[in-house]
Amino acid sequence: MPKNLAIRHLIPLILVSVIAILPGNAQKSNDGRYEFHPINFESRIHLLEVADTLDNQHTSIWPQRRYFVKYDAEDYRKKMGINAKSSLEKKFLNWVDRKLLREDLIAVRSEDYSFFINPVLNLQFGRDAYSNRTTYINSRGVIVDGRIGENLTFTTFFIESQGYFPESMNEYFRRKGSALGWTLHRGYKSNGFDFPYSLGQVSYNAGKFFNLSAGHGNHTFGEGYRSLFLDDHTIPYGFFRIETTVWKFKYINLLTAMSDITRQYMTSGRFLPKYGAIHYLSWNITQRFNLSFFESIIIGADTMGVQRGFDVNFLNPIILYRALEANRGFNTGNAMIGVGSSYKLLKRFIAYGQIAFDDFSFEGFRQLRQGHFLNFFAWQVGVRHTELFGVKNLFLLAELNQARPFMYAHRSTITNYEHLGLPLAHPWETNFREAVAMAAYNFGRWEVQARVNFGFRGTDTSAANWGNDIRRSYEDRGNRDLGYYMGSPVRRNIFLTTLRCAYILQPIVNMRLEASFHYRSETFSQEYSSLQTYPVNWFSFGIRTALFGWKDDFALIR
């Protein structure tokens, strides 16, 4: 490796080492245990219920540091009506009852440190009526989290999994090379998948205003179910993150180390690296109104295929990347900007939105009705309520998302908006319109959820590039600049619904007995022999530790 390139690769490690030497006097964390559990939408709902009652919270930043959540084990037991002491008399049964249903499996606490160890399980069996296929997921793992001193917290999380899924999921996993957005998979017996999953990070409160974290995980920016800036359904990646909170501002600097999955770019059996440099500023202008600004750049190789290391110019924490890209040369990377906002219409009733621009020109905007290809933008509007009609623990959400053709694509996969073949923003990728409605309700240990997705996305019928695949270069479109419309050339109409009912066994790690039903139907606006639908009528049940999430509401490209 060239000397200068080696130095650039060492920069993130040097930054991480700063965590160990900076002074800290921030508020003592709540044993660190609610800082870093992987965020799925179930845990987001709980955090929103708490955050929506507090002032000056920045609820569009995920993983949301949960220093404002004062819950400990006793609070969870009270919330769900669970007695702290077991009613069982025999000593062994008493221990099993406490450890499986009421407490951490292993917990060590002191004034100077604490750590917790808990099992992670996802054992589910099911049946898909459309494909007449028996399904199952067999995941086993462990999560360890804790605190050293008052300011250093950590977590590590590992799962080993095997599974058989409905054919729509099988087809998506085979095309993407990864299962559930967790990691690249291997084959398992016939038509099965073997896939591990790991997360881990260390965080340090460096004084009153700063938090530094580094590790391997996902990040999300947005108020809703989806994010058009950065979403968390993709494979975890390495990162270094600086979180600054001053007055009504919260500012995130996020540096990421990702990979391009394209085989032809592999060197010595290794995927080509790509890097992300991301800024997100959240400003609570009033107690009701929030305005947020987003910018990112993906840095890889240039259009000639020359590999680049991380450009030190992008370490500047306060810049406009588009201007920097112009100074460094427009082949340097792929820049994107965006604006988000939210407004509290009533107590706990929030309206929110996002708009993102990946590439934009006034010439293209003037010819928007003619379908000029340069209109690379996406938008979102939505509303959510965490206590409708005064009913506690009732969560409702409605959201609309749309992205134009070629959104998130670039000159090559080395600089497009994806990591290891999965999109970094919306899982429907590009050229789509989607509506989402969600409802969730908790009563004691019981929880029910319902979600409906419906919409469409464009589907290619030939080798022509209509802007439906972010892995294809937007320069690969022939000599045609016009005629790129939403859903062209053929619309894949999608309807999805998911119902879940769960009984929470262990509230500390959200382990539950769960039954779910997933329905999927697809139709095309025109019939082509090359296009195939993948309907699903899938029922499953089992035991699941709901600390980690995965989304099954994706859309196939072809």
Instruction: Indicate left, alpha or beta for 41 from its phi (over 0: left) and psi (-120 to 50: alpha).
Output: alpha
| Separation of alpha carbons 127 and 131, rounded Å | 9
Per-residue pLDDT at 4? 45
What is the DSSP track for 193-213?
EEEEEEEEEEEEEETTTEEEE
| Separation of alpha carbons 286 and 209, rounded Å | 20
246-252 own/partner pairs: CB under 8 Å, 24+ apart:
246/209, 248/56, 248/283, 248/284, 248/285, 249/281, 249/282, 249/283, 249/284, 250/58, 250/61, 250/281, 250/282, 251/279, 251/280, 251/281, 251/282, 252/61, 252/221, 252/278, 252/279, 252/280, 252/281
Sign of the dihedral defined by the CA atoms of residues 365, 367, 370, 371, in that order: negative
Where are the domains positioned within the chain?
3-71+104-545
Alpha helices in 302-447 (DSSP H): 321-328, 362-366
Token pair of 459 as six digits: 């589907």
- Give me the phi and psi of 237, to 5 degrees please: -135, 160
| Separation of alpha carbons 510 and 158, rounded Å | 16
Per-residue pLDDT at 7? 40
CB 266 within 8 A of CB 47: no
Per-residue pLDDT at 75? 67
What is the DSSP track for 30-94?
STTTTT-SPP-HHHHHHHHHHHTTSSS--TTEESPP-TT----HHHHHHHTT--SS----SHHHH
| Separation of alpha carbons 511 and 410, rounded Å | 42
Per-residue pLDDT at 25? 47
Report the half-sphere exposure of 123 (CA within 13 A, side-chain side): 8
Between strands 183-184 and 178-179, the pairing is antiparallel
Beta strands per DSSP E along 408-462: 418-419, 422-423, 432-443, 446-459
Residue type present at position 235: I
Question: What DSSP designation does 312 have?
Answer: G
Residue type present at position 455: G
> Tens of pLDDT along the chain (558 residues)?
444 444 444 444 444 444 444 554 444 445 545 455 556 788 788 788 888 888 899 999 987 666 666 666 666 666 666 665 555 556 666 666 676 667 788 889 888 998 889 888 999 999 999 888 899 999 999 989 888 988 898 888 899 999 999 998 998 998 888 888 888 888 888 889 999 988 888 999 998 899 999 999 999 999 999 999 999 889 999 999 999 999 999 999 999 999 998 877 777 778 888 999 999 999 999 999 999 999 998 987 544 455 556 667 777 777 666 555 555 555 567 889 999 999 999 889 999 999 999 877 777 788 888 889 888 999 999 999 998 888 888 999 999 999 999 999 998 888 899 999 999 999 999 999 999 999 999 988 899 999 999 999 999 888 889 999 999 999 888 888 999 999 999 999 999 999 999 998 887 778 899 999 999 999 999 888 788 898 999 999 999 988 776 778 888 776
Q: Look at residue 445 and give its three-state secondary structure.
A: coil
- b/e string for 225-254 if b means 16 or more Cβ within 10 A? bbbbbbbbbbbbbbbbbbbbbeeeebbbbb
Per-residue pLDDT at 444? 84
CB 519 within 8 A of CB 497: yes
Per-residue pLDDT at 3? 44
CATH of domain 3-71+104-545: 2.40.160.130
Token pair of 226 as six digits: 């989806």
CB 147 within 8 A of CB 116: no
CB 470 within 8 A of CB 416: yes
Per-residue pLDDT at 361? 74
| Separation of alpha carbons 259 and 270, rounded Å | 9
Give the CA distances from residue 307 to residues 1, 13, 311, in Å, rounded to whole numbers and listed in that order: 12, 21, 12
| Separation of alpha carbons 173 and 420, rounded Å | 12
